[in-house]
């Protein structure tokens, strides 16, 4: 059993993007391709949720990560110049699982900026990929300090210490 937690800034949480239960999203690739997902009931409820803090729980391989990444991408495509962060506690898992799944779903055409650790989408939206666990020589919240974000997706939030949630909420300041 796993869970994810999605945080939205107030100005980007109320629009539902008018997408039906069977959703089609543009992949970010050279060809104008689309990704079509058929959502389960739980995924559909999560897709349409507008609460500031959203939680989706489910069994292993139930599609939690897929629908969360799709929701982040859909918002970034709809709102241009949006800043989002997808993260896990450990950097290796954030890069190996979240970054890898994002590329698998939305195409190798995502423009990766390795030095800053983010994907750039059409219209200058960015999706930062982060492991939240600080190094021994860095400050506790150094992995996301200074970021102004509209969306934060935490995969496997049970791994993240409680004090990080307040620090992450403070990053939700993009108008």
Instruction: Record the pTM.
Output: 0.82
Residue the block writes with tokens 């489910």: 58
- Exposed e or buried b for every residue in 1-15, given b needs 16+ CB within 10 A? ebebbbbbbeebbee
Does the structure show a pLDDT above 80 at 16? no
Is residue 106 within 8 Å of 35, Cβ to Cβ? yes
Q: Taking residues 65-70, report their average pLDDT.
A: 89
Give me the pLDDT at residue 122, please. 74
Give me the pLDDT at residue 6, please. 60
Give me the pLDDT at residue 7, please. 60
Give me the pLDDT at residue 8, please. 55
Per residue in 148-160, pLDDT (tens digit) is 999 999 999 889 9
Give the C-alpha separation, 72 to 126, whole Å. Answer: 10
Instruction: Return the number of other C-beta atoms located less than 10 Å from residue 65's C-beta.
Output: 22
Between 101 and 15, whose confidence is greater? 101
Per residue in 1-14, pLDDT (tens digit) is 344 456 655 444 44
Is residue 82 within 8 Å of 125, Cβ to Cβ? yes
Strands of 52-150 (E only): list them. 53-58, 83-88, 111-113, 118-120, 126-131
């Amino acid at each position: 059993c796993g869970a994810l937690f999605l945080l939205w800034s107030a100005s980007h949480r109320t629009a539902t993007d008018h997408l039906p239960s069977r959703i089609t999203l543009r992949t970010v690739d050279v060809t104008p391709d689309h990704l079509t997902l058929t959502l389960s009931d739980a995924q559909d409820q999560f897709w349409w949720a507008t609460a500031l803090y959203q939680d989706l729980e489910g069994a292993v391989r139930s599609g939690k990560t897929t629908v969360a990444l799709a929701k982040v991408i859909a918002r970034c495509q709809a709102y241009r110049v949006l800043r989002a962060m997808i993260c896990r506690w450990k950097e290796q898992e954030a890069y190996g699982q979240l970054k890898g799944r994002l590329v698998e779903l939305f195409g190798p055409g995502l423009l990766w900026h390795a030095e800053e650790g983010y994907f750039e989408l059409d219209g200058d939206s960015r999706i930062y990929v982060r492991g939240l666990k600080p190094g021994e020589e860095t400050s506790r919240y150094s992995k996301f300090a200074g970021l102004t974000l509209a969306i934060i997706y935490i995969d496997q939030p049970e791994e993240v210490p409680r004090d990080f949630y307040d620090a992450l909420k403070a990053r939700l300041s993009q108008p």
